[in-house]
């Protein structure tokens, strides 16, 4: 009997489409196929095969089974689960899962091989080259390996003793060397490592590895990884990190621990490299992957452990396109694959702490730094009492501390989570604030490039000489500091010091991030001015002073997680100070030293802060005690959008335990010419919020120009 194949396509379609399986094609679920869609052939994945019952309307046939790896059942199930949870089309997460499969194959490389012909005139140098050529490599590498000049290789090529061949770079990864010993663990580290090994042995289960900065969490979870890899020759391990700079540091540590490069997966890996990792993961030959959130969608064959390092980090939430939180989905993928999940952090999210408190996750704590290192002393600088001079941003106590640190030959880090030179440019003649066209967001001044940039939409323009509004000349003034401005001030104060800026404007790619981290770790920078890109996870042995330029920044305009996020970010940033045997200091500049977040940071009393924050959330039924979902409806026409959201409000299903707030103007009311309106939905934990949102969505028909985006468990309220 002929069969019908359900084929999921990597595009925003509501469901899989049915195609007829041509006679003898022998499809299996997970196969990648090409199918006709309108006039085109599209790559898709077979999710299901069933016998065709007679009498159906004729289906178009599958055009071809592609000669590409099959998606394992766990990957397909995960994609479908994620789509249902996010109330989105399954083709959206499938597109992420196929990103590596659709990338171009690596190009062939030219290597030199020995042909077997003997040289007419053998010399020791020539013999060496022929021996080295047993291992195919590029001509220049061969000359280097044999310790001869390029001329020797060229002469042998001319003579036909060597020949050039084009070969495809191998998709293989070196296997991890599991006989290498890890570091000698301290008693508390060893206890945590043992508990994690038990977790790994038990299949699915989640542990919170909760340890202060520098306590050795990475060393401990690498032991769990070693155990998972040793228990099964096919086992695979995934380590997720929130920043490219951190992936670089962890890749180096994995390579040192296991003597083999792990697969690297993030936006900066070139397409052929992605294809190589994707295929090796599907084949099971890449056994360790270190990557950013989308690595969670790779086609693992036998995933046995997922580590989410810095699990509290907001960068795990993907906000555009397919909206998901990689930490939450890691737990889902773990359950589907029967894999252990380790969530590691010095400042865990309230969601994770709640799960640990309730006994759903195992909770392992490391309360001291490794070895003789101590946590830094944290002091608050009250800017009302000791303000910086006019037009400056560093207060006298901070400048004094920097001078002392510099005199001792140690390093300072100035932390300010703001890119560019100044967050606002206004006209002192007419008061106009410079904003991006058709967007409610200030233009940020960047001095390195001399441009005003919208960080939301990417729009940029040269800084004008006159106010575009009133025409006044030289009237535009820069308000407030960004990292570039703090750098300018630091240079004026310490003209001899080696100063660098670490932000996404100065560090564009993984290589540059690695270079800057290495330079800092080697002590070749005296003052590093950094956004959060450098404030997390790194070990800088000579860094003894962290100055937080504006500790109140994250508390302004606060959303539900403002206090939690500020606490986490500042605890991470201050946690960079004082590694090895040098004690560290952290100074926080604030106008609100009495604020609960500042007091908790100063007292280093995370538990008290968390308890107070939890109590507030519980009272309000907010996460982790309740669930939230957001809806953003947007469209170019204000009246049409108004009418639509009014109708949408009326269509909201009436369900006990669910409250719908809105519609309201979004704080970012206008982006790229589109007006935006928001709803916020709060639900009790017992409610299936995804099902509720799907039911609501099904009741409304947005007109063509209106888009409706649903965000389950929102982190952005703009």
Decide if residue 186 touches ligand ADP (CB under 6 A): yes
**Cα 442 from Cα 461, distance rounded (Å):** 13
What is the token pair recorded at 203?
Answer: 């299949």
Applying CB under 6 A, among 12, 147, 183, 272 the residue interacting with ligand ADP is 183
Of 365 and 491, nearer to ligand ADP (C-beta) is 365
- Burial, 402: exposed, middle or buried (Cβ in 10 Å; 0-12, 13-18, 19+)? buried
How far is 271 from 262, CA to CA, in rounded Å? 17
Stretch 435-464 residues interacting with ligand ADP (CB under 6 A): none
- The Cα 608–Cα 600 span in angstroms is 7
CA–CA gap between residue 28 and residue 648 (Å, rounded): 42
Contacts by 137-143, CB closer than 8 A, 24 or more apart? 137/111, 137/112, 138/109, 138/110, 138/111, 138/112, 139/110, 139/112, 139/164, 142/112
Interface mask (CB under 6 A) for ligand ADP, residues 364-383, using x and -? ------x-------------
- The smaller minimum CB distance to ligand ADP, of residues 183 and 431, is found at 183
Beta bridge partners of 545: 412, 585
461 strand-pairing partners = 452
One of 47, 189, 503, 589 touching ligand ADP (CB under 6 A): 189
Pairing of strands 362-366, 205-211: parallel
The answer to whether residue 219 forms part of the interface with ligand ADP (CB under 6 A) is yes
Smallest distance from the beta carbon of 690 to ligand ADP, in angstroms? 34
Give the separation between CA 392 and CA 695, rounded to whole angstroms.
Answer: 54
Which segment (199-207, 215-223, 380-388, 527-535) binds ligand ADP by CB under 6 A?
A: 215-223
Between 370 and 674, CB nearer to ligand ADP: 370
CA distance 463 to 626: 46
Q: Is 215 in the site for ligand ADP (CB under 6 A)?
A: yes
CB neighbours (10 Å) of residue 344? 23
Single residue of 44, 72, 205, 214 touching ligand ADP by CB under 6 A: 214
Instruction: Find the part of the chain contacting ligand ADP (CB under 6 A) among 27-35, 76-84, 178-186, 272-280.
Output: 178-186
Q: Give yes or no for residue 191 binding ligand ADP (CB under 6 A).
A: no
Segment lying near ligand ADP (by CB under 6 A), choices 106-114, 141-149, 183-191, 626-634? 183-191
Q: With respect to ligand ADP, which residue has the nearer C-beta, 215 or 544?
A: 215
Closer CB to ligand ADP, 221 or 692, in the complex: 221
Stretch that binds ligand ADP, among 164-172, 198-206, 217-225, 681-689 (CB under 6 A): 217-225
Nearest alpha carbon to residue 356 among 205, 143, 168, 573 = 205
> Please, where are the H alpha helices in 555-659?
562-574, 596-603, 606-620, 638-651
553-581 as b/e, with b when 16 or more CB fall inside 10 Å?
Answer: bbbeeeebbebbbbbbbbbbbbbbbbbee
Q: Per-residue string for binding with ligand ADP, 526-545, x by CB under 6 A?
A: -------------x------
Does position 106 interact with ligand ADP (CB under 6 A)? The reply is: no
Nearer to ligand ADP, 345 or 590 (CB): 345
Give the alpha-carbon dihedral of 82, 86, 88, 90, to 10 degrees: 0
Nearer to ligand ADP, 92 or 215 (CB): 215
Among 37, 49, 163, 185, binds ligand ADP (CB under 6 A): 185
Q: Which residue number is nearest to ligand ADP in terms of Cβ? A: 216
Residues contributing to the site for ligand ADP (CB under 6 A) = 183-186, 189, 211, 213-219, 370, 539
């Amino acid at each position: 009997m002929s069969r019908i194949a359900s084929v999921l396509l990597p595009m925003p379609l509501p469901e899989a489409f049915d195609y007829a399986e041509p006679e003898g094609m022998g499809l299996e679920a997970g196969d990648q196929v090409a199918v006709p869609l309108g006039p085109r052939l599209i790559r898709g994945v077979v999710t299901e095969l069933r016998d065709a019952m007679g009498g159906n309307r004729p289906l178009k046939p599958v055009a071809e089974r592609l000669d590409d790896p099959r998606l394992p059942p766990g990957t397909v199930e995960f994609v479908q689960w994620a789509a249902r949870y996010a109330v989105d089309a399954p083709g959206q997460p499938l597109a992420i899962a196929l990103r590596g499969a659709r990338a171009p194959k690596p190009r062939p490389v030219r290597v030199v091989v020995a042909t077997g012909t003997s040289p007419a005139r053998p010399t020791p140098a020539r013999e060496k080259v022929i021996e080295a050529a047993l291992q195919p490599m590029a001509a220049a590498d061969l000359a280097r390996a044999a310790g001869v000049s390029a001329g020797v290789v060229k002469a042998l090529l001319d003579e036909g003793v060597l020949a050039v061949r084009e070969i495809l770079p191998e998709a293989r990864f070196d296997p991890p060397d599991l006989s290498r010993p890890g570091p000698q663990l301290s008693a508390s580290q060893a206890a945590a490592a043992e508990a994690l090994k038990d977790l790994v042995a038990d299949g699915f289960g989640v542990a919170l590895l909760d340890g202060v900065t520098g306590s050795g969490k990475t060393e401990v979870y690498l032991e769990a990884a070693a155990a998972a890899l040793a228990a099964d020759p096919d086992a695979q391990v995934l380590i997720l990190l929130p920043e490219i700079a951190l992936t670089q540091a962890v890749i180096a540590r994995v390579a040192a621990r296991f003597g083999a490069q792990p697969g690297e997966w993030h936006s900066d890996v070139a397409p052929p490299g992605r294809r190589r990792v994707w295929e090796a993961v599907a084949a099971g030959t890449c056994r360790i992957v270190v990557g950013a959130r989308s690595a969670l969608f790779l086609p693992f064959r036998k995933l046995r452990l997922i580590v989410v390092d810095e699990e509290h980090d907001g960068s795990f939430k993907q906000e555009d396109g397919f909206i998901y939180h990689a930490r939450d989905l890691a737990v889902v993928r773990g359950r589907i694959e029967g894999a252990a999940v380790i969530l590691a952090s010095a400042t865990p999210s309230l969601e994770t702490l709640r799960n640990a408190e309730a006994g759903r996750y195992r909770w392992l704590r490391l309360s001291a730094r490794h070895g003789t290192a101590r946590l830094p002393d944290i002091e608050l600088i009250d800017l009302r009492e000791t303000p910086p001079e006019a037009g400056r941003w560093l207060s006298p106590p901070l400048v004094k501390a920097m001078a002392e640190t510099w005199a001792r030959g140690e390093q300072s880090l100035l932390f300010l989570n703001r890119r560019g030179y100044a967050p606002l440019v206004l006209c002192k003649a007419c008061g106009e604030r410079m904003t991006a066209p058709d967007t409610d967001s200030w233009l940020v001044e960047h001095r390195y490039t001399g441009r005003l940039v919208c960080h939301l939409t990417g729009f940029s323009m040269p800084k004008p000489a006159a106010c575009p509004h009133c025409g006044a000349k030289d009237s535009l003034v820069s308000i407030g500091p960004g990292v570039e401005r703090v750098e300018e001030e630091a240079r004026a104060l310490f003209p001899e010091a080696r100063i660098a800026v670490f932000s996404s404007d100065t560090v564009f790619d993984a290589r540059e991030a690695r270079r800057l981290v290495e330079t800092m770790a080697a002590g070749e920078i005296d003052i590093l001015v950094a956004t959060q890109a450098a404030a997390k996870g790194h070990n800088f042995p000579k860094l003894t002073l962290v100055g937080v330029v504006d500790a109140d920044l994250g508390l302004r305009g606060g959303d539900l997680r403002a206090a939690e996020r500020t606490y986490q970010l500042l605890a991470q940033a201050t946690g960079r100070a004082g590694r090895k045997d040098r004690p560290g200091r952290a100074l926080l500049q604030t106008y609100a030293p009495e604020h609960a977040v500042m007091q908790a940071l100063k007292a280093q009393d995370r538990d008290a802060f968390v308890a107070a924050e939890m109590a507030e959330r519980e009272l309000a039924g907010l996460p982790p005690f309740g669930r939230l979902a957001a809806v953003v409806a947007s469209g170019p026409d204000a009246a049409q959008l108004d009418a639509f959201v009014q109708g949408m409000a009326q269509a909201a299903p009436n369900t006990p335990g669910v409250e719908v707030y809105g519609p309201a103007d979004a704080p970012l009311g206008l982006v790229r010419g589109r007006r935006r309106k928001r709803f916020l939905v709060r639900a009790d934990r017992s409610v299936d919020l995804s099902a509720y949102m799907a039911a609501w969505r099904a009741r409304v028909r947005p007109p063509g120009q209106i888009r409706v985006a649903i965000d389950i468990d929102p982190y952005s309220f703009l």
